Structure 1
Amino acid sequence: MSSTLTADTRVSATPEAPRLRSGIVLATLLTCQLMIVLDITVMNVALPRIRTDLNFSATGLSWVMNAYTLVFGGLLLLGGRAGDLFGRRNLFIAGTALFTLASLAGGLAPSATLLLIARVVQGIGAAMAGPSTLALLTTIFSEPKARMRVLALFSGMSSAGFAIGLIVGGFLTQWLSWRSVLFINVPFGLAVSLLAVRYLPRSERKPAHLDLPGAVTATAGVAALVYGFISAASHGWGNEITDISLAAGALLIAAFLVIESRVAQPLLPLRLFADRNRAAAYTNMFFGPMAGMSMFFFLTQYLQEVLGLSALATGFAFLPTALLMFTMIRLIPRLLPRFGPKPVTLVGAVSMVSGLVLLTQLTVDSGYFPLLFIAMILMGCGIGLAFSPLNVIIMSSVSPTEAGAAGGALQTLQQTGAALGLAILVTVFGTASEHAGGSAQHALVAGMTTAFAAAAAIAALTLVVALTFRNPRPTN
């Protein structure tokens, strides 16, 4: 990394070692982000063995994923603002340490209940560390070109982490045990915590009050919406619990927006959405994961239950997607200044929609080549180009005092979109599977292709939003 730490970070680096120190800071922050994102998907391929070992019910097993994503997504806004007020370095270290301890506890869990509690605590730790990670990157690497590079790396790490999680999860599950999927966080978490204590710059604490009513309504609203869609998948749309949950979620989100428009120090400053490009980037940060998460979730099942691949082979099946994402990450710092956000995100959105449309053609006899392989390539290019620039667009123009809030909002929309999208698409999948004829595999594939069609429609919205980006190229 060519940049050096700026004066406002107050790091006492010697003139001979600024590159080394900034490189360590960057590696520390990106490793934390990768660790947090991996835990969203790394458990996927381990779920069958977790169910057997801990006697989960079929419906209860989904909460191994949902307990983490719901708490993580619901508390991100609070974590972002808390970092602004109490010091981002302090919150980053505390959150990483809590996440690491919860990972150890989850790996040792003797029962389903204790595993779910550990996953909840992991979500709390991730919500503390995540927004501070992005805010620290933005304020430490303040030189425009360096900031663009590190934000592109951050975005790519976040996106590619989904695919890498499946590969890592497959390897650990097959060769060791499902518990190692959680234990792997411990050495990395300890290293990140120790390096953060040694190298991260101290940040100022700003006297202020946390917006607790906003935090409660935001967290409860997101949780109610996701629970409502999960309930619809299990019990149908006419179910009383489904209707109450969805209505309560909508009302709580509306109440949250009213609170944010009136409080002096909101969790989510609505002025962040005043800039057109930033508002469009926030919108696509919601729709993109809503559509994209379906590929990882459903194809994991397709590869194992239809094609009969092992957990390890399933993980490596996503390698083309991961490699293409990383390739796009390397290109974004060159493409974005040259062409601006509109062409880059448009190409990415078209590629993503094309990949999802191609997945609607899956059958029980499709195999991996060529259909799945081509779809993996299209999705890798699409996710990399459509969403890696969004972090740069959102974070490059916010003031340092609101970097935590802006980063919290970005990650909240990303995680909420992923959780809501998966809940909606699982509902579509379940309904289509029930009405499909033929064997169990045919019903499974019919549900998946219908879900992919719905995901393609959601992804098409990102294409529409991308058209609203301003044409002038960035000055930096």
Structure 2
Amino acid sequence: MAGAQFLVVLNTSIVNVALPAIGQDLELTPTGLAWIVNAYLIAFGALLPLGGRLTDLLGHRTAFMAGLLVFAVGSLAAGISSDAGTLIAARAVQGTGAALLSPASLAILLAHWAPGPGRGKALGIWGAASAAGGAAGVLLSGVLTSTLGWWAIFAISALLAVPALVATPLLLDRSKSKGKRSARLDVPGALTVTAGLTLLVYGLGAKDAAPLLGLVLPAAGLLLLSALMPIERRAKDPLLPPALLRNRSVVTGNLLMLLLGAIWVATFFFLPLYQQKILNYSPLEAGLTQLPLAAALMAASWAAGRLRGTLLPGLIVLAAGLLWLARLPVDGAFLPDLLGPSLLIGAGLGLAFVPLTALGIEGAEPRHAGIAGGLINTSRQVGGALGLAILTTLAAPAAGRAAPELATLAYGYRRALVAAALIALLAAAGAGIHLLRGRNRGTTAEPALPGSS
């Protein structure tokens, strides 16, 4: 399960260092480059609720293997793409596979480890695998882009999926992942949530190229999403069970994960661009210098699986790291200007991610494990797509010109990083309110991960 999560996050970060090379090869603008990232995030985020529901209906192991297969096909197609349109479409296929893969892996984890010390440690390892995927993504992207070319970053994902496909039927107990065969798929709910999320995120991403679409499509998406609850109340087997959405922990966890996802994706998008376009790093140097951030993220995720009360401190540390990074000068150097903020950002992301995942699945019934896992991952991916669409707009006035001066280009990136820090502070305020309400009710509000101290 850690391997599956590693693959999913790997493909969120592996394109970032390669973006300048892809843009030069395929003649893409900065807005076009954002779609190499967003095509994956939109398909992933929009289809995750459906993927979570299919996980519960088909069985965790079946959904997991189907997601792996689709993911591998999309990765192979991306690797052999010769134009921007094909590459973006292949990235969407990757995202479709990930939308099955990610909730199935979390549901399998919950099914195989009952509440107790084992589940807490498993969640910590699962969270650390996300960080490992981010670390491997930036490193592999730099190494492969510098040696073989950007196509190799997608080919490696297809290769890594093969051993997971072989190992799955050998290692996973089918009896613990049976589907609910008597239930029916909520087709109206699935179509509504998928179309609504797609229109919302796509519209925001298209607003620079087509301002009218940037207004009409998000409005249509919000209108569709607002109709979801009435549809779900009438459904015999709803895609999003109303009881799940009435759970305070589930709602709070998903709202805060939406904000964290915006920060996560934007940070790994802007930092490599800053390093290569402003500091003149090679792809390999950009990958290597992001390893401290990824290592801090891994260590903090592992620790968060064993400790309590890491959510609020993590978000505050994250905001501090982003504000520090936003001061990066045009002539900056790694040790005095990059290392410190990188360590803070990595630690903050890890300390917040694991408790938010636990908060988002707390109280979900076992039969809803797949959809609960799909929902918390939806929030992260949709938050990432929304955040990237908004923050690239903040950077666009400086970055959109044909050949902006370095100082002007850097100003746009700094503005986006400051906005990301403000989002982190907003999430910290929301986490603080949730914790205060929990204390007033005589609870801890933030779930104690089983096995934590």
With normalisation by structure 1, the TM-score equals: 0.86
Contact 2:252 2:360 in 1 (8 A): no
Deviations 1:337-363 (A, max 9, x none): xxxxxx311110110111122223233
**Higher mean C-alpha displacement, 397-406 vs 424-433:** 424-433
Give the equivalent residue in structure 2 for 1:443.
408
Residue 279 of structure 1, aligned match among 243, 251, 271: 251
* Preserved CA contact (<8 Å) 1:159 1:383: no
Report the CA distance shift for 1:425/1:89 in structure 2 as closer, same or farther (over 3 A).
Answer: same
Partner of 1:193: 165
> C-alpha displacement at 1:174, in angstroms?
1.0
Q: Classify the secondary structure of the residue corresponding to 1:305.
A: helix
Q: Is 1:312 matched with 2:284?
A: yes
CA distance 1:442–1:128, shift in 2 (3 Å): same
Distance in 2, matches of 1:409 and 1:326, equals 23
Q: Distance in 2 between matches of 1:117 and 1:68?
A: 9
> Contact (CA 8 Å) 2:321, 2:344: kept in 1 or not?
yes
Partners of 2:249 and 2:153 in 1: CA distance: 38
Q: CA deviation at 1:298?
A: 1.1
Match of 1:463 among 401, 414, 428: 428
1:232 aligned counterpart, secondary structure? coil
Asked if the contact 1:138/1:396 (under 8 Å) is kept, the reply is no
Letter in 1 for 2:9: V
1:124-178 deviations in whole A, cap 9, x for unaligned?
1111211111100011111411111111221232245334311221111112221
Partner deviation per Cα, 1:363-407 (whole Å, 9 max, x = no partner): 313333323221111101110111222222333532210000100
The alpha-carbon distance between structure 1 residues 53 and 445, as it changes in their structure 2 partners (threshold 3 A), is closer
- 2:171 equivalent to 1:205: no
Partner of residue 364, structure 1? 330
**Paired position in structure 1 for 2:202:** 227
Residue 353 (structure 2) aligns with: 387
Residues 394-428 of structure 1: CA deviation (Å, up to 9, x unaligned): 33532210000100101100100000001011111
Alignment of 1:147-166 (within 5 A): 147-166=119-138
Question: Aligned partners of 1:316 and 1:408: how far apart in 2?
Answer: 32
Counterpart code for 2:351: L
CA drift of 1:105 comes to: 2.4
- Give the Cα separation in 2 of the matches to 1:402 and 1:321: 34
Alpha carbons of structure 1 residues 59 and 409: separation in structure 2 relative to 1, 3 Å: same
1:103 aligns with 2:75: yes
Distance in 2, Cα, partners of 1:60 & 1:456: 25
Paired position in structure 1 for 2:320:
354
Q: Distance in 1 between matches of 2:116 and 2:222?
A: 39
Give the distance between the partners of 2:42 and 2:53, measured in 1 at CA.
18
Report the counterpart of residue 23 of structure 1 in structure 2. none
**Range with greater deviation from structure 2 (184-193 or 106-115):** 106-115
Residue 375 of structure 2: aligned partner: 409
Shift of residue 289, structure 1, vs aligned partner = 1.4
Aligned counterpart in structure 2 of residue 296 of structure 1, from 259, 262, 268:
268
Equivalent AA in structure 2 for residue 134 of structure 1: L
1:68-87 per-position Cα deviation (integer Å, ceiling 9, x unaligned): 11111110100110110111
Cα 1:461–1:257 change in 2 (3 A) is farther
8 Å CA contact retained: 1:233, 1:428: no
In structure 2, C-alpha distance between the alignment counterparts of 1:351 and 1:192, rounded to whole Å: 35
Q: Which residue of 2 aligns with 1:90?
A: 62
Cα deviation, 1:91-118, whole Å, max 9, x if unaligned, reads: 1111101211221222123333332332
In 1, distance between residues paired with 2:396 and 2:405?
Answer: 13
- Looking at structure 2, the residues matched to 106 and 284 of structure 1 have their Cα atoms a distance apart, in angstroms, of 32
1:137 is matched with which residue: 101, 109, 114? Answer: 109
> 2:173 aligns to what SS in structure 1?
coil
Distance 1:185 1:77 in 2: 24
Q: What's 2:241 paired with?
A: 269
Q: CA 1:185 to 1:276, structure 2 compared with 1: closer, same or farther past 3 Å?
A: same
Distance 1:227 1:330 in 2: 34
Q: CA RMSD in A?
A: 2.2
Q: How many residues align?
A: 437
Q: Secondary structure at the match of 1:286?
A: helix
1:218 aligned residue:
193
- CA distance in 2 between partners of 1:105 and 1:84 (Å): 29
The 8 Å contact of residues 306 and 449 in structure 2, kept in 1 or not, is answered as no
- 5+ residue gaps, structure 1: 1-28, 337-342
* 2:390 pairs with 1:424: yes
Q: Pick from 68, 71, 89: which aligns with 2:40?
A: 68
Deviates more, 1:345-354 or 1:243-252: 243-252
Q: Distance between the aligned counterparts of 1:129 and 1:295, measured in 2?
A: 24
AA in 1 matched with 2:381: Q
What secondary structure sits across from 1:393 in the alignment? helix
Q: Which residue of 2 is the match for residue 13 of structure 1?
A: none
Matched with 1:9 is none
> 1:185 and 1:279 mapped to 2: Cα distance?
33
Instruction: Report the Cα distance in structure 1 between the residues aligned to 2:320 and 2:25, rounded to whole angstroms.
Output: 39
Give, in whole Å, the separation in 2 of the partners of 1:156 and 1:458: 23
Q: Which residue of 2 aligns with 1:4?
A: none
CA contact (8 A) 1:79 1:131 kept: yes
Is the Cα–Cα contact under 8 Å of residues 152 and 391 in structure 1 kept in the other structure?
A: no
Match of 1:12 in 2: none
